[in-house]
Amino acid sequence: MKKLIILAPMRFKGWRDALDEFLLVKQADGISETTLEDYRYHINLFFKRHPQAWNEEKLKRAVLEYMAEPIKPATYNIRRAYLGAFFKWCVKEGAITTNPLEGFKRRKDPGRIRVLEESLVRRLLELPDRKRFSGLRDYALMLLSLDTGIRPSEALQLLISDVDLSSCIVRVRPKVSKTRQLRLLSVTSETARYIKKLIEVRPPHWESNGY
């Protein structure tokens, strides 16, 4: 008889119990309510489609099937980020033995093809003076635009709560989005690094307004 060791019976009765505790940990870490909801949505979606996945023999197969669906690279990267963080925590807590998303590589998102000469892009990126707040802001905005194709009007309305730097995800709220639909945008670690720098040097009085 094969031993099922994915579930830690003394701690979690099922994946919902594990998710509840994971979200509490994230909340204690200080992430925003919107990011918590994003975690809840994506993890619930996975187990809704694969309800038997909380099992050592079935989890890996379920993850493979889920990630192999015909989805856009951006959607793939978002699933990888949110599920990967949850399963990594589950391994740490002893709820599962291995992270089924370990080894999955981030996909390059080509987006809509725009032809720009590399030399032109390099010259544009060299223009902002990153030693000044305005220059750092412009540089981070340029990187974000190159990564995601986000509309300027959307980018300028982003709040701290819309950014999950640990998962390299930027959330465009329905109220801000031109299409009035929620969009989750995947960015590179380099872009996330400069967004973090921008957040760290922003004027102190902006914090109370969430900027």
- Structural tokens at position 4: 């099922």
**pLDDT at 11 exceeding the cut of 80:** no
In whole angstroms, give the CA distance from residue 200 to residue 185.
Answer: 21
In the chain, domain spans: 15-92, 118-203
Please state the CATH superfamily assignment of the domain spanning residues 118-203 in this structure.
Intergrase catalytic core (1.10.443.10)
CATH T-level fold of 15-92: DNA polymerase; domain 1 (1.10.150)
Dihedral of the alpha carbons of 200, 84, 7, 10, in degrees to the nearest 10: 0
pLDDT digits (tens, 9 = 90+) for 35-83: 888 899 999 999 999 999 998 789 999 999 999 999 989 899 999 999 9
pTM over 0.75: no
Residue 111: per-residue pLDDT: 60
